[in-house]
Every structure is written in structure tokens, then in C-alpha cells.
């Protein structure tokens, strides 16, 4: 009788040990997944915000003398007339690299996020990509006008107004800057997706 009770006790002890071991592993896996999701979401959001700031950098309305090559400026730091196209192209090439590098980081983070949460989120980056293309085309048009100033501009007044809005950052509340809200809307799509994963970790 004592032997049977002992066997039952040993069996129950083994069962409880196995149960708590399984529960502990499940909890550990959940915590590990939670940390992974938090880090991926945080990294991706950081990359998105870096892209947003890079757009502001590229679209800065003022070009400062130090942005031009020294040999293209006069003694006052102003761009010489004969270098209007080359100097401006140099400035935008440097600025564009900031946006390019930020997008490379975002694309990598977005890929990691899709691995974690699935391809249903693959299109969330599309609006930001479109904004990048719009800015690139606006810059190309500006440089083309500087390179060929005597050729007629095929844009009408409304199209030129739209190009100006794309080219130049006017601030978050400017009525003339109709392009920044498009960038912010594209960033919001990432926030709606990722912010809950960051907030869950903090709670």
C-alpha cells in the first residue's frame, strides 16, 4: 500500500514537473516573440521617421552657400550664374543621398516586419515610395529647366504650382505645402500598423 502511494506521488510529481516545464517554455517563447516584435516594430518606425526627416532635408526651400562646390561660388558664397545648373544638381545629388540611405534602411526593416507579420503589410510602404518618385521627378524637371532655360515649359500654371509644393517644404501647417500632408499620411500607415506592438511592450 505504501509502495503504491509512493508510486502515485512520484507520478504526480513528474506530471506537475512536466506541466510547469511546458508552461515555462511557453511563457519564455511568448516573451521572446514579444521582444522580437517590439524590436522590429521600433526599428521600422525609427526608419520611417528617418525617411520623413530626409524628405524635409531634400525639400528644404533654401540652398546655402556651403552646399555648393567652392569653385562654383563667388567671394560672397553665392552661386555663379554659369553654374546654375551644375551647382544646383550638385546640391540635390548630396541631399538625395540622405533620402536614398534612409529608404535603404526602411526597405530592410519593412522586409523584416513582413517576415514577422506576413505579406499582408507589403503595400504599406507604397505611398512613401510614390512620394519619393514624385520628389525625384520634380527635381529632374527643375534641373532640366536650368539646363535648358530657353525651351518652353510644357506645364500649365496649376501643374507648376503642384511642382513647387512637391519641391519645397513649407512647414506642417502651410496652406501652400500640399505635399507634406501626403508624406505624413504615408507615415501614419506605418504608425497604425506598428505603434500597437511598441505600446504593448511598454504596458
| pTM of structure | 0.80
Burial class (CB in 10 A: 0-12, 13-18, 19+), 9: exposed
pLDDT average per 10 residues of sequence, the chain (203 residues): 56 50 42 68 96 97 93 90 94 98 97 88 94 97 89 83 94 89 96 88 51
CA angle 139, 144, 146 (to 5 degrees): 100
Distant-in-sequence, close-in-space partners of 65: CB < 8 Å, separation ≥ 6:
73, 76, 77, 78, 79
Place of cell 518618385: 133
Are 34 and 179 in contact by the 8 Å Cβ rule? The answer is no
Amino acid at each position: 500500500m505504501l509502495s503504491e502511494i509512493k508510486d502515485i506521488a512520484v507520478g504526480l510529481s513528474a506530471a506537475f514537473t512536466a506541466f510547469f516545464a511546458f508552461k515555462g517554455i511557453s511563457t519564455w517563447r511568448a516573451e521572446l516573440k514579444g521582444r522580437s516584435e517590439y524590436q522590429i516594430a521600433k526599428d521600422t518606425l525609427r526608419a520611417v521617421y528617418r525617411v520623413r526627416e530626409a524628405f524635409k532635408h531634400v525639400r528644404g526651400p533654401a540652398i546655402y552657400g556651403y552646399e555648393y562646390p567652392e569653385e562654383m561660388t563667388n567671394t560672397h558664397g553665392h552661386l555663379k550664374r554659369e553654374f546654375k545648373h551644375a551647382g544646383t544638381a550638385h546640391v540635390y545629388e548630396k541631399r538625395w543621398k540622405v533620402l536614398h540611405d534612409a529608404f535603404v534602411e526602411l526597405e530592410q526593416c519593412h522586409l523584416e516586419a513582413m517576415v514577422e507579420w506576413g505579406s499582408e503589410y507589403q503595400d504599406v510602404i507604397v505611398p512613401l515610395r510614390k512620394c519619393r518618385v514624385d520628389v525625384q521627378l520634380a527635381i529632374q524637371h527643375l534641373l532640366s529647366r536650368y539646363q535648358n532655360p530657353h525651351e518652353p515649359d510644357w506645364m500649365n500654371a496649376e501643374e507648376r504650382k503642384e511642382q513647387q509644393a512637391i519641391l519645397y517644404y513649407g512647414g506642417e501647417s502651410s496652406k501652400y505645402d500640399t505635399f507634406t500632408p501626403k508624406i505624413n499620411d504615408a507615415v501614419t500607415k506605418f504608425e497604425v500598423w506598428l505603434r500597437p506592438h511598441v505600446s504593448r511592450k511598454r504596458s
